[in-house]
Amino acid sequence: MKLFKIADLEDVLKILKEQKSEDICEEITIEESLGRILYEDILSDINIPHFDRSTVDGYAVHHKSVNGASEMMPIITKITEKIKMNSIPEKEIKTGESSYIPTGGMMPKGADSVVMMEYTEKLSENDVLIGKTVSPLENVNSTGEDIEKGELVLEAFRKIKAYDMGLLAALGIKNIKVLKKLKIGIISTGDEIIEYYEMPLPGQVRNSNSLSLYGMTERAGAVPYNFGIVKDDEEAVKKALNEALSKCDIVLISGGSSVGERDHTISAVESIPEAEVLVHGIAIKPGKPTIIARSGSKMIFGLPGNPFAVLVIFRTIIEKYINRFSEKEKFVTALFDTNYHKAMGRSEFLPVKLEERDDEVYALPLRVKSSSVAVLAKADGFVIIEKNKEGLYSGEKIKVYEL
C-alpha cells in the first residue's frame, strides 16, 4: 500500500505559488471589472488632484498675510474675487488680500492656505475679517498629493474591488486588461453518490460536494463546469478526468483521493503522460489525503469526500490559487469559548459559531463528523489551530475566518 508523503500547508502554498500558468488576457470595461484579476500594472498618467484645491469653504490667503490673527485680534483683508467651481481664478493674491473659495475650488496664484468660513466675518463686498492664523497648505490639497503622475496605483494580478473601479474612473481609464476567467471542472466520485435531486436508498448519499464546489468556484470569480458523478471505477475516473482536462483549466475531483481499494484519483492522475503529482497528503485536519497535480499548464486537485474538508481545501488552497494569492484572509477576533485538545504535528481547522456575551464575541466550536453537512450551515467561520499547538484554551483570543 502506498503511504502519504505529508507536506505542511505552508510548503503546499509555496509549491502552488511557484507553478507557472498560461496567462490569457482580455480587455473589458471598468464597469465589468469587479472581481476580475488585473493582468498588468496600472500607472497614473496624471496628478490627482491635477491642481491645488481647497478642502473647505473659506478665504484663500497667503499665510503670512494673516500671521497672528485671532478672534480677539482679527486682521482685515481685501477681497479680490469670488472664485467659482469649475473655473480658473482670474486674480493673483497679494499681501493683505484674499479670495472667497468653495470646497474643491482651484487655488489662486499667490495663495497657499485657506481660512475656514467659521473664522471669518464679511464686512463688505470688498473686505473680510480673518480671525485665525493658518499654516502653509492648511485646508489645501496640493497637486499630486493623492496620486502623482507615473505612480503605480494598481499592481498586476490584483483582484479588482469596488473602490478600485472608482480609482480607475478617477484616472480616466475606460478599459483594462484582465485575466480570462478560469474554467473549473468539477467531478464527484463514489458508488454511493447519487444526484442531489434523487431520493436516496439505504447506503446512498446525495451529491452535495459538487454544488458546494460550484458555488465556491463562482464566488472565487471562476466559471464552474459540472462533469457529474463517476462510479468507483479506475477507467471511468480516468475518462472523466481526461474529458475535464480537455475543456477546463483546473479540475476538482471530490472523493477517491486516499489510497484505499476504491480510491482511484491518484492512479487516474498518474496515468496521464505529462502529469506530475506535486502533493499527495497535507498535514491538516480535515483534508489530509488531498492530491495536487499539474498536467501542462492545467492543475488537478483531488479532494476527500468529507464536506468540511472540501470547504477547507477550497478556501485555504484552491481559492488562493484561482485569485493568484492576491487577497488577504478576512477574519474577526473572538475569544474561544472552551478548552479544546488536538494532536501535535498537523494544523486543524475547526468550524465555530459566534456568540456575543457581555460585550465580547465568543467562538463556540462545532462538532463535525466526516459526512456532516448541516454543521456548515450553522457555522459562522472556522479557526485554524497551528500544527505546533496542542489545542486552544478557554478565553484565548483567536482569529475566526469567514467560510
Give pLDDT tens digits for 393-403: 999 999 999 98
Q: Coil, helix or strand for 224?
A: strand
Asked whether residue 3 carries a pLDDT value surpassing 70, the answer given is: no
All CATH 3.40.980.10 domain ranges in the chain, comma separated: 9-24+181-322
6 vs 342: CA distance, rounded Å: 18
pLDDT score of 4 = 63
Summarize the confidence of residues 195-218 as an average pLDDT. Answer: 95
CA distances from 185 to 13, 217, 271, 344 (A): 21, 10, 18, 35
pLDDT higher than 70, residue 249:
yes
Burial 174-192 (b: 16+ CB within 10 A, else e): eebebbbbbbbbbbbbbeb
Question: 308 pLDDT band (50/70/90 cuts)?
Answer: very high
Instruction: State pLDDT tens for residues 312-357.
Output: 999 999 999 999 888 888 899 999 999 999 999 999 999 999 999 9
25-48+148-179, superfamily in CATH? Answer: Molybdopterin biosynthesis moea protein, domain 2 (3.90.105.10)
Q: Find, among 299, 294, 288, 240, the residue nearest to 264 by Cα.
A: 240
Q: Answer whether 310's CB lies under 8 Å from 353's CB.
A: no
Pick the CATH number of 331-401 from 2.60.40.1170, 3.40.50.720, 2.60.40.740, 2.40.340.10: 2.40.340.10
Is residue 209 pLDDT above 60, yes or no?
Answer: yes
Q: Is the model's pLDDT at 372 over the cut of 90? A: no
* Lowest model confidence (mean pLDDT) among 181-185, 212-216, 268-272, 366-370: 366-370
| C-alpha Rg value of the chain to the nearest Å | 31
Where along the chain do the CATH 2.40.340.10 domains lie? 331-401
Count of H helices and E strands in the chain? 8, 28
In the chain, where does the domain assigned CATH 2.170.190.11 lie? 53-141
Measured distance CA(222)–CA(323) in Å, rounded: 9
Q: DSSP label at 315?
A: I
Dump pLDDT digits (tens) for 383-392.
Answer: 999 999 999 9
Would strands 58-61 and 97-101 be described as parallel, antiparallel, or unpaired? antiparallel
Residue 22 has pLDDT above 70, yes or no: yes
pLDDT at 305 over 80: yes
Q: How far apart are CA 397 and CA 180, in angstroms?
A: 40
Q: What percent of the chain has pLDDT over 90?
A: 88
Residue 296 has pLDDT above 80, yes or no: yes
CATH topology of domain 9-24+181-322: Molybdenum Cofactor Biosythetic Enzyme; Chain A (3.40.980)
**pTM for the structure as a whole:** 0.83
Rounded distance, CA 290 to CA 258, Å? 8
The segment(s) of the chain belonging to CATH 3.90.105.10 are 25-48+148-179
- Give pLDDT, residue 371: 63
Please answer whether residues 129 and 120 qualify as being in contact, where contact means their C-beta atoms are separated by less than 8 angstroms.
Answer: yes
The pLDDT assigned to 111 comes to 98
> How many CA atoms, within 13 angstroms, populate the side-chain half-sphere of residue 281?
9
Q: How confident is the model at residue 1 (pLDDT cuts 50, 70, 90)?
A: very low
What is the structure's pLDDT at 230?
Answer: 96
Grid coordinates given for 265? 484519483
Of 98, 57, 92, the residue nearest 75 (C-alpha): 98
| pLDDT tens digits, one per residue of 76-109 | 999 999 999 999 999 999 999 999 999 999 999 9
Which among 139, 173, 136 has a CA at the least distance from the CA of 154? 173
Q: What is the CATH number of domain 53-141?
A: 2.170.190.11
Least reliable range by pLDDT among 15-29, 168-182, 221-235, 381-395: 15-29
Average pLDDT of the chain to the nearest whole number: 94
